[in-house]
């Protein structure tokens, strides 16, 4: 007598990540929290850049992005604040 086990399927274990949020999710969270604060004071631009660098885990690329996207505006804001008080 042969018993069929056709109804039972083996569960496949996928290499699912144990992370709750992806890097892009974390970047969106950082942006949503820090960008409004950066409008209030320029120092939060540095915090924003540092948090993104930690998330991305690529210091060279993060520094290049900082220079490209944040440094010019940050410099303007610092100079304006120091000039006009």
Instruction: Give 26-78 pLDDT, tens digit per residue.
Output: 999 999 999 999 999 999 999 999 999 999 999 999 999 999 999 999 999 99
User: How would residue 81 be classed by pLDDT, with cut points 50, 70 and 90?
Assistant: confident
Per-residue pLDDT, 19: 78
Instruction: Give 4-27 pLDDT, tens digit per residue.
Output: 555 556 555 555 667 799 999 999
Per-residue pLDDT, 84: 78
Q: CA-to-CA distance for 3 and 36, rounded, in angstroms? A: 65
Q: CA-to-CA distance for 36 and 34, rounded, in angstroms? A: 6
Q: Structure pTM?
A: 0.71
């Amino acid at each position: 007598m042969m018993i069929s086990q056709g109804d039972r399927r083996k569960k496949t274990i996928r290499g699912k990540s144990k992370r709750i949020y992806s890097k892009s999710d974390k970047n969106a969270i950082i942006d949503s929290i820090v960008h409004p604060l950066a409008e209030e004071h320029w120092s939060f631009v540095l915090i924003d850049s540092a948090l993104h660098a930690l998330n991305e885990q690529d210091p060279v690329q993060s520094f290049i992005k900082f220079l490209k996207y944040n440094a010019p505006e940050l410099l303007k804001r610092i100079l304006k604040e120091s000039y006009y008080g």
